[in-house]
Amino acid sequence: MSAQTAGAGRDPEAIDVDVPALRRLLDGKYAGVRDLVRENLAEHASILDDAQEMSVHDFRERVLEVVQLMAETDQTGLGFPAEYGGGADIGASIAAFETLGFGDLSVSVKAGVQFGLFGGAILQLGTKPHHDAYLADLIRTRLLGCFAMTESGHGSNVQALATTAEYDAEAGEFVIDTPDDRARKDYIGNAAAHASHAVVFAQLVVGGESRGVHALVVRIRDEDGRPAAGVRIEDCGPKIGLNGVDNGRIWFDGVRVARTSLLNRYAEVTEDGRYVSDIENPDRRFFTMLGTLVQGRVCVGGSAINAAKVALAIAVEYALHRRQFGNPGSGTEELLLDYGMHQRRLFPLLARSYALHFAQERVAADLHEVFSNIADEGAAELARRSLEARAAGTKAMGTRHASRTIQECREACGGAGYLSANRLGALRADIDVFTTFEGDNTILMQLVAKGLLTDYKDAFEDLDQLGMVRFVASTAVETVLERTNARSILERLRDVVPVGERVSDDEPDAGLLDHEYQLEMLTWREEHMLSSVARRLKRGIDDGGEPAEVFSLAQDHVIGAAHAHVERIVLEAFIDKVQALDDGPNREALKLLCDLHALSCIEDDRGWFLEHGRLSNARSKAITAKVNELNRRVRPIAQQLVDAFGIPRELLRAELLEFSGS
C-alpha cells in the first residue's frame, strides 16, 4: 500500500469520522471541566517547557507554581464540600484529575497528593472539626500536606505498618514514634520540600493495647519551613521520573500531637483514654478506612490512560510524517504508518485506549454514585466493595496499558523518542511508577480475584491471600461461580448465540465481528478460569497443603483469573457504548476499534483458547488475519482517532515532528 492510496482523506473507503462529535462523546458529562483543565494546562505549559533542563529544585518549585495557579481556577477543589469552597461534585473532580494526565505528570501527581490523598484523607477519615480546620486552606494550597502511609519495610502490606501513635492520657496527646529504619515513612510525595502537615498512618496504642492502623494529622514543618521538633525529613533524591515531585522520608521521635489530631470518623479515643468505634471487627474497621481512599486509584488509572493517549497522538503523527526506505515506484520513501508492523504496534493499543477510556468512565460514575450517597453507609457497603474491586482492576489494567503503550510509542519514534525535549521521554520516565503506587498491580489483581472468589460481603474477615484460600476451600465451586455475574451473562448469551453451531472451518472468520461472540469468548474464559482456580485451591487444601503453599503454587492462576475478569468488564463497557450510539460514521469507527480491541484480546491469549478447545486452529489463524485487516481499516482514520482525544497542541511538544516531514 503506498502512501498515495493509504493516506488519510484520499481513501474513498475511509470512514468519515466527525472529530468534534467523537471528542464530545469521549468527554462525556464533564466536558466543561475537562476543557477548563485543558486550558489551564495549555496556558501553563510554557512554565514547564524546559523542565528537563532545570535543577530538581527549580523543577519542584515550578510544579508547585502550576498547581497553585490551577487551584485559583477552582478545578482542584471540585470534590470537596461547597461550604469550604469546593465544587461538591466527585465525578467532576475525577474528570479534572484524569485530564491532568495530558500534561506534565509531576503536576498530576503533586495535585493528587495534595488534593486526593492528603485532602481526601482529611475529608473521608476526619470529622467536622478537621474539615473546618483544614479543607478551605488546602483546597487553595495555602496549606500543603502529604500522605504518610508507606514505610520502607512495608509497602503493600499496610496492616503491618510499624510507626506507633501511643495515647498519653495524662497529657491528652498522642506520641508518635518511628521504632526503626524499616518503619521510616518512605517515597512520601510533597514531603521533601513543601508539606507543612502530614496525615500519618500509625499503629494506635491506647492503654497499652494496640488498636491497629489509624490516621492522624501531624505538623511536620514549622512556620519557617524547618522540620518540626522530633521530626526528621530526608529527600529521596532523584528518581527515574516525576522529579517535579518532592518525595521524602520521615522519621518521628516522640512527636506529640493533640488527641483531636486523630481522624476520628471511624474510631475515637476519649479524653480519659477509652478507645471507641462503631465498627467492632478491627479488620473490618481497617478496610473501611482504607476503602474511603479508593478515589486515588480511580484517578491514577484515569490519568494513566490519558497519558497513553498523549503518547499515541505523538507516535501516530510522527508515523504520518516520517518516511523510511524507498518505494522505487513512487520515488519517495514510505510513510512509517503504512508499514504493517507499525500498524500492529500502534493500532491495537489505540483501540485499547478507547476501551479503557469507557471502562474508566464507568468506574468513575460508580464512584461518584457510591460516594455521593455516603449517608446510607450500611446498604452501600456491598456497592463499595464492588467498586473497590473494579477500581483496583481498572487501575492495574490502565497503568499497565499506559506503561506498555508509552514504551511502544517511544520505540516507534526511534532515537527522537529518547530525548527529554520530546514528551515521550519524560512520559516514559514519569509513567513508570504508576504500576506501583496507589497499590502495586500484582496486589491489586489479587484483590480483584479475592473479591470474585469470596464474594464481596465476606471480604472483611481476613483480607490476605491465605484467608481467601481458606474461604474458597470451605465453599462449593458452584457457589463461587453463582456469585459472579459471568455465569448469568454466559447463560443470556447462549440463548442468543448457541455455541458451536455458528462456526465451521469452511468459514473460519464467520461472526468474528459479532460483539456477542466476542463477549462470550471473554466471559467463558473468565468463568472457566475462576472455577478452575477455585477447584485448584480446594484440592490443595483437601490434600493437606498449607494455605501459603497452596496460594503460592496457584498465584499466577489466581491473577490470570482476575485479568480475565477485568478484560471482560472492559470489553463490556466498550460494547455497551457502541451499542448505545446512533448509526453513523462515528459509530462505525468505534465499532471498528471495539472489534480490533476484542479480537486483539483473543489473539493475545489464543494459546489459552486453543488449549481449552474454544478456538479451532483455522479460526485462530482467521483472527490474526482479521486483526491485520482491521488495522488496515484504522490506518486512514488514525489521525482523526487521536485528534478526538482533544490534547492541546502545546502539550505535544512537537519538536519531534519538526524534521520528520519530507
| Grid cell listed for 261 | 489530631
- What is the nearest approach in angstroms of a second copy to the Cβ of residue 472? 16
Closest listed residue to residue 103, CA positions, set 75, 125, 83: 75
**Sole window of 15-23, 128-136, 437-445, 478-486 interacting with a second copy (rule: CB under 8 A):** 437-445
- Whether residue 372 contacts residue 380, with contact meaning beta carbons closer than 8 Å, is answered with no
CA distance 158 to 525: 32
Name residues whose C-beta falls within 8 Å of residue 122's C-beta, 6 or more positions apart in sequence. Answer: 130, 131, 134, 135, 138, 145, 199, 217, 263
Least distance to a second copy, CB of residue 408, Å? 11
Binders of a second copy among 396-425, rule CB under 8 A? 403, 407, 410-411, 414-421, 425
Contact between 157 and a second copy per CB under 8 A: yes
Nearer to a second copy, 22 or 188 (CB): 188
121-149: burial string, b at 16+ Cβ within 10 Å, e else: bbbbbbeeebbebbbbebbbbebbbbbbb
User: Within 86-145, which residues bind a second copy (CB under 8 A)?
Assistant: none
Residue 73 or 152 with smaller CB distance to a second copy? 152
Bridge partner list, 251:
232
**CB of residue 607 vs a second copy: minimum separation in angstroms?**
4
E strands, 56-180, are 145-148, 164-168, 173-177
Half-sphere exposure of 495 (CA within 13 A, CB side): 5
| Residue 440 beta carbon to a second copy: minimum distance, rounded to whole angstroms | 6
Which 223-242 residues touch a second copy, going by CB under 8 A?
236-240
Residue (12 or 238) nearer to a second copy, CB: 238
For residues 160 and 229, which CB has a smaller minimum distance to a second copy in the complex? 160
CB of 517 to a second copy, least distance (A): 19
| Separation of CA 212 from chain center | 28
Instruction: Please give the sequence-ordered ranges of beta strands (E in DSSP) within 259-297, or none if there are none.
Output: 268-269, 275-276
Name the residue nearer to a second copy (CB basis): 186 or 361. Answer: 186
**Nearest by Cα to 655 from 307, 406, 407, 417:** 417
Instruction: Tell me whether strands 197-206 and 209-219 are parallel, antiparallel or unpaired.
Output: antiparallel
Residues 452-491 that bind a second copy (CB under 8 A): 464-466
Residue 329 touching a second copy (CB under 8 A): yes
Q: Which of 129, 548, 579, 584 is in the footprint of a second copy by CB under 8 A?
A: 548
Toward a second copy, which CB reaches closer, 33 or 469?
469
Site for a second copy in 205-224 (CB under 8 A): none
- Phi–psi pair at 516, nearest 5 degrees: -70, -35
Question: Which residues inside 16-55 make contact with a second copy, applying CB under 8 A?
Answer: 52-53, 55
Residue 419 or 510 with smaller CB distance to a second copy:
419
- Residue of the chain from 89, 98, 177, 432 that contacts a second copy (CB under 8 A): 432
Residues whose CB is less than 8 angstroms from the CB of residue 232 and which lie 6 or more positions away in sequence, other chains included: 250, 251, 253
How many residues in the chain?
662
Q: Rounded to whole angstroms, how far apart are CA atoms 288 and 382?
A: 12
Q: How far apart are CA 557 and CA 632, in angstroms?
A: 35
Q: Exactly one of 435, 454, 523, 586 binds a second copy (CB under 8 A); which one?
A: 435
The residue among 34 and 410 lying less far from a second copy, judged by its C-beta, is: 410
Closer CB to a second copy, residue 421 or residue 510? Answer: 421
Nearer to a second copy, 357 or 528 (CB): 528
Residue 14's SS3 state is coil
**CB nearer to a second copy: pick between 394 and 465:** 465
Considering only the stretches 329-337, 390-398, 585-593, 645-653, report the one whose residues sit in contact with a second copy under the rule CB under 8 A. Answer: 329-337
Toward a second copy, which CB reaches closer, 73 or 407? Answer: 407
Considering only residues 298 through 317, tell me which ones interact with a second copy, judged by CB under 8 A: none
Footprint of a second copy on 618-637 (CB under 8 A): 620-621, 628
Give the DSSP H or E segment for 586. helix 585-604
Note whether 532 binds a second copy by CB under 8 A: no
Read off the C-alpha cell for 225: 519551613
Question: CB of 95: closest distance to a second copy in angstroms?
Answer: 28
304-333 burial, b for 16+ CB within 10 Å, e for fewer?
Answer: bbbbbbbbbbbbbbbbbbbbeeeeeeeeee
By CB under 8 A, is residue 344 in contact with a second copy? yes
Rule CB under 8 A: choose which of 299, 409, 429, 519 binds a second copy: 429
Residues between 575 and 614 with contacts to a second copy, criterion CB under 8 A = 603, 605-607, 610-613
Dist. CA 273–CA 168, nearest whole Å: 8
CB of 238 to a second copy, least distance (A): 4
> How many residues bind to a second copy according to rule CB under 8 A?
86
Q: What's the N-to-C CA distance of the chain in angstroms? A: 18
Q: Is 291 in the site for a second copy (CB under 8 A)?
A: no
Map residues 174-193 to x or -, x wherever contact with a second copy holds by CB under 8 A: -------xx-x-xx------
Question: DSSP code of 28?
Answer: G
| Shortest Å, Cβ 231 to a second copy | 19
Q: Which is nearer to a second copy, 225 or 415 (CB)?
A: 415
Q: Does 436 bind a second copy (CB under 8 A)?
A: yes
Binding flag, residue 428, a second copy (CB under 8 A): yes
d(CA 250, CA 235): 9
Count Cβ atoms below 10 Å from residue 405 Cβ, excluding itself. 29
List, in order, residues 6 or more apart from 421 with CB less than 8 Å away: 52, 653, 655
